[in-house]
Chains A and B, each alone.
Chain A
């Protein structure tokens, strides 16, 4: 039985230069995976470069994440003061909304790019996190194309500055809609897809759901990672999440 994300980290592997998509549904939220990756990205890596996170929040205010991460043993306010955590609160500040046809997404991209280019000079490894895409779509007045344009520009940052992109979206809000959907576009964009689902067999008191991690391998000459699909179950606790293989919980 694993505590502290051993199975999850093993399935995710190295996240630099990768796009990670978290898919959840009403029954099972994947927010805890987002928190886990946030904590992991901020914790000091073994090598010399220090990590930084640009967090684009459409869903919750800073205090919400601060409270959760504190329980996980990570002080977001301190990280923010150290210029390692950049919180872009999209609930409070939508500067150009209503004025431009881009609903402020170009300005948001500009902010992210500016932050990354400032950090890149200090040789930082930056993670961009978006919580969540469905609310960004709302902010874009329902324009899927605008959201995709924004994600494309974020993708260009990956290839240029080596950062990684983590985004959360809800699968079930797209169910039943005519193709092509935003979620499918995002699945194509993603290198790693993490899907949180309830158990197929129904509710259980000590298993809260299951995670499926599809990790597309990278094949670039000498170093490459294998394609891997892993599946395990989890139980969300007060101060962390327990991950275990199906059937291993007694």
Chain B
């Protein structure tokens, strides 16, 4: 299903539609969202560099990690420098408020001697959302040129953006990006518990797909992990539920989910195993709250499994008897005999209803030498 999401971003926007937008969100109990963001980023970058996607370039707006981090991340995922030509990074990480520039200007500090990724263009005032928008679009146009060719946009932290700007300007930026004709797809990441519920709702409304990462087994007391459930906390570092809610064009909402595992080898998505009962939990969570019971209890399920349907073999040791029309009436009489010996006193045989059925297939056996289809006129 993660693949499905990546495919949707790869395929891009239809003519006259807004670009598909993916929100990735997580919370502190299951902080795997950034790994998912990195996965989607590398998948889309691979598709773009292979020329398989609608977009021909990617603009990454880096708020929470340095551009060098992303360059190394993509390198680890098999994208070398030449493949990364199709990716432009807007650096909102190194100097988002212009502190460094101010310090260098007044001579109280100099730039660090260490290697800083030079290819990125630096944004020194993230509070100015309009300039941010125009630099994203101009970076994209620099990649693909003006015209019909489109590019994708990734934003690694909406939290950081909304910390510096008002909700209306952030949502304005996201909306303008979606509406932009040259943008083929867009995705962003945020921590849901770092912003108010209404902010999260606004951001989710603007996306066509919402991928949320939740703990595999939620804490029972609804509280964050304390020292009592260490193993649970440890498990939530590496595993989680990956919920995807997508809105179709006709308004239909589809909900899917998978399990995420993060390990030494990277991130992997597996379809949930029904044996551990997780699927039932999800089904229950997805069902609307109604007054009557749509779910069977464990006992009811067992009882239902015990009911023997009339066409099933009884499997109780007796020879299986299915009437095939070839038995003579004598047989059926013989069959009925033991019943009468068991209950000799009951004389209600006559009151029993009986259907005697003769199969009519015996009157007309197909001739072996005759082609059954010879009257077909082809």
Contact = CB atoms under 8 A, between A and B. Distances in A.
A93 interface: no
A180 B194 contact: yes
Interface stretch (A36-44, A73-81, A112-120): A112-120
Contact of A197 (B110, B194, B227): B227
A139 B238 CA distance: 38
A159 interface: yes
A221 interface: yes
A48 to B, nearest CB: 18
Given A106-B103, A228-B234, A220 B76 contact: yes
B277 interface: no
A231 interface: yes
A231 B227 contact: yes
Interface in B161-211: 163, 191, 193-196
A221 B195 contact: no
Given A179-B196, A221-B76, A113 B112 contact: yes
A153 B110 CA distance: 15
A239 B349 CA distance: 100
Contact of B116 (A114, A160, A216): A160
A160 B193 contact: no
B264 interface: yes
A224 B102 CA distance: 37
A219 B112 CA distance: 26
A113 B76 contact: no
Interface residues of B, number: 45
B102 A229 contact: no
Nearest to A112: B109
Nearest to B265: A219
Contact of A120 (B100, B113, B195): B113
A210 B262 CA distance: 28
A188 B31 contact: yes
Contacts of A227: 234, 237-238
B114 A120 contact: yes
A159 B237 contact: no
Interface string A210-244: 10101011011100101111110000000000000
A117 B113 CA distance: 7
A110 interface: yes
Which of A106, A159, A221: most chain B CB closer than 10 A? A159
A152 interface: yes
A184 to B, nearest CB: 6
Given A145-B163, A231-B230, A160 B194 contact: no
Which of A160, A185, A187, A216: most chain B CB closer than 10 A? A160
A113 B109 contact: yes
Contacts of A152: 96, 160
Contacts of B266: 219
Interface in B255-275: 262-264, 266
A120 B66 CA distance: 19
Given A110-B103, A117-B112, A217-B237, 15 more contacts: A110-B109, A113-B100, A114-B110, A116-B112, A117-B110, A149-B99, A156-B94, A160-B114, A197-B226, A197-B227, A216-B31, A216-B237, A219-B262, A228-B234, A229-B230
In the complex, the 5 A-B pairs of residues with the closest C-beta atoms, listed nearest first: A227-B237, A229-B234, A159-B66, A110-B103, A180-B194
19 contacts: A110-B109, A117-B109, A117-B113, A152-B96, A156-B93, A159-B66, A160-B112, A160-B114, A161-B112, A195-B227, A200-B228, A212-B230, A214-B233, A217-B237, A224-B264, A229-B230, A229-B233, A229-B237, A231-B230
